[in-house]
Amino acid sequence: MQVSVESVGNLERRMSFSLPAERLDTHIGGRLRELSRTARIKGFRPGKVPAKVIEQRFGDQVRAEALDGLLRETFNNAVRDQDLQLAGNPRIEKQGEGELDFVATFEVVPDFGDVDVAKLNVVRNTADVTDADIDQMIDNLRMQRRTFQADALGRRSRDAGNLVAGGRRAHAGRGHREGRHPDRFGRDVRRDRAGAGGSGQE
């Protein structure tokens, strides 16, 4: 495998490398033979599909997958052999007319040299939590998890809606005595306490 690395900046590097053609062909051939044993194609029994049919059907896909896998493997091996520490993901592009020639551009981690940690000053930030802070957090959690409960008539209380206090019911800003209730349209309906005579609307 031919690999060359050049510096194009303080931290930027450009690596040129070529993929081994024999390894690519070996990988493609092995994958096609595997597909010939497992592929199900109409008109052929499993394991009896001709190699030419398998190559016509899956050849391009298998070659693309093999090329991508070998490209990553070759680049990683080159980075390890060159003892490089990448600071991010590389940008890999084809180089020239050759199908197996590539160039990768990336940045490396700077060399900080030997650092004497005994001479470093470390600032540790601390925070004091008071009772007021805890009470405020509890109030916030209560507000976030509050739920509505149904009133005596089975309705859900809403803002400026049904409030029960001292035997009187306030609904939408109007007072109602016991024995009266608003209907579903918000009108004040008086219910007959004796159960006879129906109901009247005021």
Is residue 9 domain-shared with residue 71, that is, in the same domain?
Answer: yes
Report whether 73 contacts 34 (CB < 8 A). Answer: no
d(CA 44, CA 16): 45
Residues contacting residue 153 through CB under 8 Å, at least 6 positions apart = 162, 181
Q: Are 39 and 58 in contact (CB under 8 A)?
A: yes
Reported as type and span, the H/E element at residue 57 is helix 51-81
Residues 90 and 156 in one domain: no
What rounded mean pLDDT belongs to the chain?
Answer: 78
0.75 exceeded by the pTM?
no
Most confident range (mean pLDDT) of 32-36, 160-164, 196-200 is 32-36
- 43 part of a folded domain: yes
Q: Is 104 helix (H, G, I), strand (E, B) or coil?
A: strand
Residue ending a domain, among 107, 134, 167, is 107
Pair 31, 103 in one domain: yes
- Asked if residue 131 belongs to a domain, the reply is no
Residue 103 sits in the same domain as residue 156: no
Same domain as 79, residue 24: yes
pLDDT beyond 50 at 200 = no
Closest CA to 17 of 77, 62, 68: 77
Domain span including residue 191: 149-201
pLDDT at 44: 85
Pairing of strands 180-182, 162-165: unpaired
Confidence of residue 28 (pLDDT cuts 50, 70, 90): very high
| Residue 86 belongs to some domain of the structure | yes
pLDDT confidence of residue 153 = 60
Handedness of CA 155, 159, 164, 170 (dihedral sign): negative
Query: Is a pLDDT exceeding 60 seen at residue 187?
Result: no
pLDDT tens profile 42-63: 888 878 888 888 888 889 999 9
Instruction: Give pLDDT tens digits for 171-186.
Output: 444 444 445 555 555 5
Residue 128 placed within a domain = no
Grouping H, G, I as helix, E, B as strand and the rest as coil, residue 23 is: helix
77 and 160 share one domain = no
- Domain-terminating residue out of 107, 126, 161: 107
Residue type for position 162: N
Strands (E), 59-137: 91-94, 101-107
- Residue at a domain's end among 107, 137, 170: 107
Does residue 133 lie within any of the structural domains? no
Residues 95, 13 share a domain: yes
